[in-house]
Amino acid sequence: MFDRNLLQENVSLKDRNTYRVGGAARYFFEAHDAEALQRAVQEAHKNGMRYFLLGSGTNVLVPEEGFDGIVIKADHQHIEVQGDEFYADTGIPMGALVAQAASLSLSGLEWAAGLPGTLGGAIFGNAGSHGGETKDVIGEVEIFDPAHGIARSISAKECGFGYRHSAFKENGGVIVRAVLRLEKGDAAAITARMKENMNKRIAHQPLAQRSAGCVFKNVELAASREGSELARTHADFTAFRDARFLPAGLLIDKAGLKGTRAGGAMISDKHGNFIVNESHATADDIIRLIAIAKAAVREKFGVRLEEEIRIMRSKR
C-alpha cells in the first residue's frame, strides 16, 4: 500500500523540472527510501495506474496537460562506500557522487562534474560528457520488477548501454540501486580535471537560463548515411569527417536557428542544442521549437534529429 500521508493529489510539476513548465500530476509520491520506491511502483502496477519515475527533472519535458497517473519521485539517497566502490541509491544527485569521489581521491567521475540530475536519470539515458559516459563506471544495477514484486541485480552488459541509450528506455525498468566502480587516483589531478570540465560547461552552455540540457542527440555518423555524407562533403561539417558524431547544436546553428523564439522559449544563442525558457514559456512553446529545429535541419541538410529529452506522456 502507498503511505497515504505521502501520496499527494494534483501536484504541479512546474517546480519539479528544470524547464519550469508543464501541468500537474494527478498523483505525486516522493520515495525517500528504496523500499518505498518499490512499493509505490508495485501499487501503481497492481492498480493499472500509469506511472512515471522522476529523478531531478533535468531531462524531461512536462506537457501542459500534465500527467494523468502517478509521478513517483525517486528521492532515495542511501550510499555505502566500500573501497573503490559506491553502493548507491539511484535518487542520489550525481553532484553528490562527484563530490564524494573527489573527497576520497577516487577517479572515474571527473567527466560528470556539473552534470545535473540523479544517478537513476544518468543510468537511464547513459548520460555523458567530455568523453566519459555513465556506463564506464557501472558495475551492476539493481532493478525492480513490479509484475513479480522482486528486485534483482543485472550486469552493466545487461543494461544495453549505447550512446544516450539504455535498455530501460525500451523496457521501462525501475532502477533502484547501482554499484559504481571507481579507481584510486591522485586527488589534485582529479580535482583539476573536474574543474576543467566544469569550466567548459560554463563557457559553452547557457547555465544561467532554464533548460533541460541538450534537446537532441548528436548524429552518430556510423548510423546515419545522410550525416556521414554531410561530414564528407559540406564545408561547414568536414571537421567532423573522422569523428563519431556530428553535433546537433552545430546543425541547428548552421540552419540559422540560434535565437529563434516561440512564445517565451528560445533556441539558445549560446548553444544551438539548448532550448531555454526565457520568460514564462509553456511546454507548447518548447514543442514548437523542437518541431521547427527538426524540420529546418531535415530540409537544409537531410538529417533527422532525434530527441534526447523525454516527453512525459500520459497516454500509452
Of 16, 164, 193, 288, the active-site residue reads: 164
Residues 126-145 that bind ligand FAD (CB under 6 A): 127-129
Stretch that binds ligand FAD, among 100-108, 168-176, 228-236, 263-271 (CB under 6 A): 168-176
The region, left, alpha or beta by phi > 0 then psi within -120 to 50, assigned to residue 48 is left
Q: Which of 221, 207, 197 is nearest to 274 (CA)?
A: 207
270 close to 205: Cβ distance less than 8 angstroms: yes
The binding track of 3-42 with respect to ligand FAD, each residue x by CB under 6 A or -, is: ---------------x------------------------
* Smallest distance from ligand FAD to CB 309, Å: 8
In the bound state with ligand FAD, the residue whose beta carbon lies nearer, of 129 and 314, is 129
In the bound state with ligand FAD, the residue whose beta carbon lies nearer, of 125 and 146, is 125
In the bound state with ligand FAD, the residue whose beta carbon lies nearer, of 205 and 260, is 205
Q: Indicate if 4 belongs to the active site.
A: no
Long-range pairs of 304-307 with CB within 8 A, sequence gap ≥ 24 = 304/224, 304/226, 305/216, 305/217, 305/219, 305/248, 305/251, 305/252, 306/216, 306/217, 307/215, 307/216, 307/217
Q: Indicate if 164 belongs to the active site.
A: yes
Note the helical H segments in 205-246.
225-233
Cβ-count burial of 95 within 10 angstroms (0-12 exposed, 13-18 middle, 19+ buried)? Answer: middle
Q: Which of 231, 294, 263, 258 is nearest to 64 (CA)?
A: 263
Coil, strand or helix at 6: coil
Residues 42-81 that bind ligand FAD (CB under 6 A): 52-60, 74
Residues 187-226 that bind ligand FAD (CB under 6 A): 205, 207, 211-213
In the bound state with ligand FAD, the residue whose beta carbon lies nearer, of 156 and 230, is 156
Q: Cell numbers for 311, please give them.
A: 516527453
Angle at 6 between CA 3 and CA 8, to 5 degrees: 120
Counting residues that bind ligand FAD (by CB under 6 A) gives 33
* Smallest distance from ligand FAD to CB 310, Å: 4
- 310: contact with ligand FAD by CB under 6 A: yes
The binder of ligand FAD chosen from 22, 66, 117, 227 (CB under 6 A)? 117
Find residue 97's DSSP bridge partners. none
In the bound state with ligand FAD, the residue whose beta carbon lies nearer, of 105 and 129, is 129
The binder of ligand FAD chosen from 161, 168, 237, 240 (CB under 6 A)? 168
The binder of ligand FAD chosen from 124, 216, 240, 301 (CB under 6 A)? 124
Q: Indicate if 159 belongs to the active site.
A: no
In sign, the C-alpha dihedral spanning 119, 123, 125, 127 is positive
Cβ-count burial of 280 within 10 angstroms (0-12 exposed, 13-18 middle, 19+ buried)? Answer: exposed
268 close to 275: Cβ distance less than 8 angstroms: yes
Q: Which residues bind ligand FAD (CB under 6 A)?
A: 18, 52-60, 74, 90, 115-118, 120-122, 124-125, 127-129, 168, 174-175, 205, 207, 211-213, 310
Tell me which residues are annotated as active site: 164, 214, 308
